[in-house]
Structure 1
Amino acid sequence: MINDSATGSLEGSTFWYTAVMIPRTHTREKPYSCDVCGYSCSKKSSLQINMRTHTGEKPHYCEVCGYSCYQKSKFMRHMRTHTGEKPHTCEVCGYSCSEKSDLVKHMRTHTGEKPHSCEVCGYSCSRKSTLQIHISTHTGEKPHSCDVCGYSSSRKSTLVTHMRTHTGEKPHSCEVCGYSFSRKSTLVTHMRTHTGEKPHSCEVCGYSCSEKSNLQIHISTHTGEKPHSCEVCGYSSSQKSKLVRHMRTHTGEKPHSCEVCGYSCSQKSALVTHMRTHTGEKPHSCEVCGFSCSQKSKLVSHMSIH
């Protein structure tokens, strides 16, 4: 066999490839190694690709956007971002994607497979990236930080959303009223003001609302829980927002100011009432005699005469 190969016999050369090259997948022989990093492989072509990570060579170039890379397979996947080609399809639901790895992850939504697990608490998930984010809840690591204010997060997506507080970008807009938001989740909640949907309900009294946070606040009316407390005087509340307003009675902070006369106050509702002294608006009226006023408390006092 070796003699046939040496004489250039096509049959012998083919047999030599079959007998010598293929078994490396079984023997794990890796005769090709990188002098720079020590990486070893069974194919010369794989070594050539590895060398490009050291030389910076990127021979595969996209004529559409100028993207370049050192692997042909990566280049082919990139081109699908331009062509929209999605050759990998789910036989269960018809979902399609451009990369095979994405289809593998998608299939786990059907099989329920969760191959990635946390060694600390046993939490398991279908994606490695999700596990990495989870691990940060144990380590406290927050690798994604804001260059503007120093805010840091364990998730890149959270940082992207945070950056919009600086840029003012609001990419999610309501098709009904045109109102826009920086977060998709906020848009979803906003849409319920149009649809009337109230998916969060109280198991005690049947109260329902559009936001989960509002349900949690409502639940406290049954439990009596008041987790937000003042360190100065001991005042406690079921809502964090109420504690924030209460703290202004100690700090004297008045963040809400009138653009007409400069009047300032600690609560937004007080500013709304004050503005009526300039606009003349009197939204509270008596059903008996037609008397109207700018404050609800004044209407209550007026009703006592009837």
Structure 2
Amino acid sequence: MNSKADTNKKPHACEVCGSSFTRKYNLVIHNRTHTGEKPYACEICSSSFAEKQSMVKHMRTHTGEKPHTCEICGSSFAQKKTMLTHIRMHTGEKPYSCDICGSFFAEKQTMLSHMRTHTGEKPYSCEICGSSFTHKQSMLQHKRVHTGERPYSCEVCASSFTSKQNLIIHVRAHTGEKPYSCEVCGASFTQRQTMLEHMQTHTGEKPHSCEVCGSSFTRKYNLVIHIRTHTGEKPYACEICSSSFAEKQSMLKHMRTHTGEKPHTCEICGSSFAQKQTMLTHMRMHTGEKPYSCEICGSSFAEKQTMLRHMRTHTGEKPYSCEICGSSFTHKQSMLQHKRVHTGERPYSCEVCTSSFAVKQNMVKHMRTHTGEKPYACEVCSSSFTRKHHMLEHMRTHTGEKPYSCDICSHSFITKHRMLRHMRTHMTKKLCI
């Protein structure tokens, strides 16, 4: 009885698979899934479609037409279904739920994709390398790694991207748009994932753990990079020299040492820098900001690394050792400079005369003997000096400070050199006696 009623409701049946339809037109379209017929072709590209309506919708990807508008925020969309799904962002409606964990979703496809996180199913495979993926879109984007295709281009600059989402995120660098905000501190972000990772700084959550050493991270990407410290893997190689890196960003920064590129500019003085962090640290020279403080003496510093080095003056730690003589040093740079005493290396040469130096700073100071530059000026009088040390010694003639005292008599001196010269007068007197 029910079967007959269903036949009456859907009188048009497929002879191949038995599917039935209420309208003959729907049966015709369905039959094309068996025959592979696609009679509607796009006039611009080579795409073809089984249904005219699908071709009309596809054409909007070329024309940019977006006839469906959200009544709440005014956003427009090429497809009506996309607009209806978007509206759920305003209403909060999530009609699709996961049977396993109960999570709710605004889109059926998103719910089905989510289900694969439980089942582990990866139905989409790359024909080139065999990698498998949970989502079809992820597989298609992956294949562009092999083909080199970057179909999404920025209209502002010449950058191009393998995925539309990456283009959207990139465009925000031009517009300054940061649509995702932290509910705790109000910080805003260009990407939702970055905002969610930031939220973990408030909760302390670090869900990604290293199986080797137990270290945990807020971001999966940071865990991947960390694991390379155990494996020694450095997949990013410099095309110019033999250096290789665990992280792509580190390789790109390194490349600037060859190209001389300095894309980060100080807005105050116009100085340019290869690294953004170096530029931000430089900015503190103008603002006077010193956010890092020593817990022992309270001294403050513009750079965290400088503060950590300073701490060694309290702890006495000297972690850098000379392999030749065993001397140890507080700073790595000091150890490298010391080793030149053994090797005789003097890599810094004066462009004017034949003098060469083991330390770059000494070469810079030497150059002032040629240029006459005296960058250190006394704040009290008009005297200027080639070296900061000499300017500080000169300042004592104004302040009256005499920090160097003779151990034999009560005389004190402005400079250590004068005190040592005075000490010789005592030695001469002893010899005469």
Alpha-carbon spacing, 1:100–1:304, altered in 2? closer, same or farther (3 Å): same
Give 1:5 deviation, angstroms.
7.0
In the alignment, which residue of structure 2 is the partner of 1:43?
none
Maintained 8 Å contact 2:374/2:385: yes
In the alignment, which residue of structure 2 is the partner of 1:111?
231
Alpha-carbon spacing, 1:213–1:85, altered in 2? closer, same or farther (3 Å): closer
Alignment of 1:100-179 (within 5 A): 100-179=220-299
Give 1:135 deviation, angstroms.
2.7
In the alignment, which residue of structure 1 is the partner of 2:330?
210
- Backbone CA RMSD of aligned residues: 4.4
Specify the SS of the correspondent of 1:304: helix
Maintained 8 Å contact 1:52/1:70: no
Alignment of 1:31-50 (within 5 A): none
Maintained 8 Å contact 2:292/2:300: yes
- 1:292 aligned to which of 395, 411, 414: 411
Maintained 8 Å contact 2:179/2:188: no
Whichever of the two has the greater Rg, that structure is 2
Q: Which moved more, 1:115-124 or 1:174-183?
A: 115-124
Give 1:176 deviation, angstroms.
0.8
Q: Which moved more, 1:208-217 or 1:73-82?
A: 73-82
In the alignment, which residue of structure 1 is the partner of 2:428?
304
Specify the SS of the correspondent of 1:92: coil
Question: Residue by residue, what CA displacement relative to the aligned partner does 1:102-152 show, whole Å, maximum 9, x if unpaired?
Answer: 222222222222222334434332212122222333333332222223333
Alignment of 1:1-306 (within 5 A): 2-4=17-19, 6=21, 25-26=124-125, 63-64=183-184, 65=186, 67=188, 76-77=196-197, 79-232=199-352, 234-256=354-376, 258-259=378-379, 264-271=384-391, 273-274=393-394, 275=396, 279=400, 281=402, 283-285=404-406, 287=408, 290=409, 292-294=411-413, 295-296=418-419, 297-306=421-430
In the alignment, which residue of structure 2 is the partner of 1:14?
none
Amino acid at match of 1:304: T
Specify the SS of the correspondent of 2:225: helix
Specify the SS of the correspondent of 2:212: coil
Amino acid at match of 2:210: C
Maintained 8 Å contact 1:174/1:187: yes
Amino acid at match of 1:111: T
In the alignment, which residue of structure 1 is the partner of 2:87?
none
Q: d(CA) in 2 for partners of 1:68 and 1:280?
A: 53
Maintained 8 Å contact 2:380/2:398: no
Maintained 8 Å contact 2:377/2:385: yes
Identify the structure with bigger relative contact order (alpha carbons < 8 Å, sequence gap 6+): 1
Q: d(CA) in 2 for partners of 1:264 and 1:238?
A: 26
Amino acid at match of 1:192: R
- Structure 1: runs of 5 or more not aligned: 8-16, 40-46
Alpha-carbon spacing, 1:84–1:179, altered in 2? closer, same or farther (3 Å): same
Q: d(CA) in 2 for partners of 1:23 and 1:217?
A: 55
Amino acid at match of 1:299: M
Amino acid at match of 2:411: S
Q: Percent identity?
A: 46
Maintained 8 Å contact 1:144/1:159: yes
Q: d(CA) in 1 for partners of 2:339 and 2:361?
A: 16
User: TM-score, structure 1 length as denominator?
Assistant: 0.69
Q: d(CA) in 1 for partners of 2:290 and 2:336?
A: 27
Q: Which moved more, 1:181-190 or 1:143-152?
A: 143-152
Maintained 8 Å contact 2:178/2:188: no
Q: d(CA) in 2 for partners of 1:232 and 1:75?
A: 54
Q: d(CA) in 2 for partners of 1:251 and 1:231?
A: 12
Question: Residue by residue, what CA displacement relative to the aligned partner does 1:138-194 show, whole Å, maximum 9, x if unpaired?
Answer: 333332222223333332222222222222222221111111222222222211111
Q: d(CA) in 2 for partners of 1:265 and 1:210?
A: 29
Alpha-carbon spacing, 1:187–1:4, altered in 2? closer, same or farther (3 Å): same
Q: d(CA) in 1 for partners of 2:232 and 2:381?
A: 62
Alpha-carbon spacing, 1:167–1:25, altered in 2? closer, same or farther (3 Å): same
Maintained 8 Å contact 2:236/2:244: yes
Q: d(CA) in 1 for partners of 2:195 and 2:242?
A: 38
